[in-house]
């Protein structure tokens, strides 16, 4: 099966590239803006900016993959709030270009979305929950979902929650690495205890995307971990695992933070559909920490 990955330099993109290279049944085409930050030993790399409609059309018509897994997006929530035009270009217009190219070349599109399409009034949520975003990032991701649902192509939407993990070239941090690095430097940190999530190991998300791609599964799938936790719980467990000083972690509530973008208070996912239809089996949060730790050495 020929699978093209967009955003292959990101955290999820790198994990997918690694996973797909190890499967003899897959012919991988990794794509990202600029050069690849990881070696491609099996498969090929092509430079692709998905916000450039001409490039999208050309690369997909030449490569002719059976499936695209779209991991490329603008995901910094506050940046999306303050740079709305750039956010819409990356998260909505780009998906429109991918849909057009998929329709032309008969390609199945697996599109990665987010728990931030929900308002956080309750959780954990299953796929039937009604989206109602509270920030611009969520609005852009929901708009892309609607484009897919209204299109004529074959598609899967994989929504996820608070992804953590490590790569060779970490240009951006995530909650686990931020907590670990802060405590190692002896910095006191404030972490919210009034938001709820089901944190997702990047390797698990990659596997969920791959399972959807292999089956060309049609519809929406919630892919995340199963541990329902606050960021404060996540920080404490991270400190305990790495034997760091958890007295440096101070609980606080989200009202004390002034951030450009509002956060949904309570999301997290019910993943029964992904388990049943895709055979998805996530690691526990503590198992995820152990996997991350093994990659640090």
**DSSP annotation string for 49-96:** -TT-HHHHHHHHHHH--SEEEE------HHHHHH-HHHHHIIIIIHHH
Q: Which domain holds residue 159?
A: 2-167+199-227+266-284
**Count of domains forming the chain:** 1
Q: What is the CATH number of the domain that holds 19?
A: 3.40.50.720
Domain membership of residue 191 (yes or no) is: no
pLDDT at 73: 97
* CB 283 within 8 Å of CB 293: no
Domain membership of residue 292 (yes or no) is: no
Domain membership of residue 232 (yes or no) is: no
Domain membership of residue 183 (yes or no) is: no
Cis-peptide, bond into residue 81, ω within 30° of zero: no
Domain membership of residue 176 (yes or no) is: no
Ramachandran angles phi, psi of 87, nearest 5°? -60, -45
Over residues 72-92, mean pLDDT: 98
What is the rounded distance in angstroms from the CA atom of residue 256 to the CA atom of residue 233? 18
Domain membership of residue 274 (yes or no) is: yes
pTM of the model: 0.98
Cβ-in-10-Å burial (0-12, 13-18, 19+) of 23 comes to middle
What is the rounded distance in angstroms from the CA atom of residue 73 to the CA atom of residue 263? 18
pLDDT in tens, 205-230: 999 999 999 999 999 999 999 999 99
Domain membership of residue 249 (yes or no) is: no
Question: Which SS3 state, helix, strand or coil, does residue 35 take?
Answer: coil
Q: What integer best gives the mean pLDDT of the chain?
A: 96
pLDDT in tens, 100-156: 999 999 999 999 999 999 999 999 999 999 999 999 999 999 999 999 999 999 999
pLDDT in tens, 91-100: 999 999 999 9
**Position of tokens 């057009």?**
100
């Amino acid at each position: 099966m020929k699978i093209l990955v967009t955003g292959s330099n990101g955290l999820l993109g790198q994990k997918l590239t690694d996973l797909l290279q190890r499967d003899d049944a897959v012919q991988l085409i990794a794509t990202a803006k600029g050069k690849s930050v990881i070696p491609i030993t099996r498969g090929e790399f092509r430079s692709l900016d998905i916000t450039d409609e001409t490039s999208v059309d050309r690369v997909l018509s030449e490569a002719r993959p059976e499936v695209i897994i779209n991991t490329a997006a603008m995901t910094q929530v506050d940046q999306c709030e303050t740079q709305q035009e750039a956010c819409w270009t990356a998260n909505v217009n780009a998906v429109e270009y991918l849909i057009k190219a998929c329709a032309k070349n008969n390609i199945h599109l697996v599109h990665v979305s987010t728990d931030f399409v929900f308002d956080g009034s309750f959780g954990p949520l299953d796929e039937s929950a009604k989206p109602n975003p509270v920030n611009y990032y969520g609005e852009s991701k929901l708009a892309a979902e609607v484009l897919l649902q209204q299109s004529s192509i074959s598609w899967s939407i994989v929504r996820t929650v608070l992804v953590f993990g490590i790569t060779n070239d970490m240009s951006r941090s995530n909650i686990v690495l931020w907590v670990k690095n802060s405590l190692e430097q002896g910095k006191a940190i404030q972490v919210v205890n009034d938001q709820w999530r089901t944190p997702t190991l990047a390797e698990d998300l990659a596997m969920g995307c791959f399972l959807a791609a292999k089956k060309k599964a049609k519809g929406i799938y919630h892919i995340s971990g199963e541990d329902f936790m606050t960021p404060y719980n996540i920080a404490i467990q991270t400190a305990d695992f790495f034997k760091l000083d958890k007295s440096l972690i101070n609980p606080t509530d989200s009202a004390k933070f002034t951030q450009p973008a509002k956060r949904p208070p309570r999301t997290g996912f019910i993943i029964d559909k992904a388990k049943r239809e895709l055979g998805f089996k996530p690691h526990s949060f503590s198992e995820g920490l152990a996997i991350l730790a093994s990659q640090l050495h």
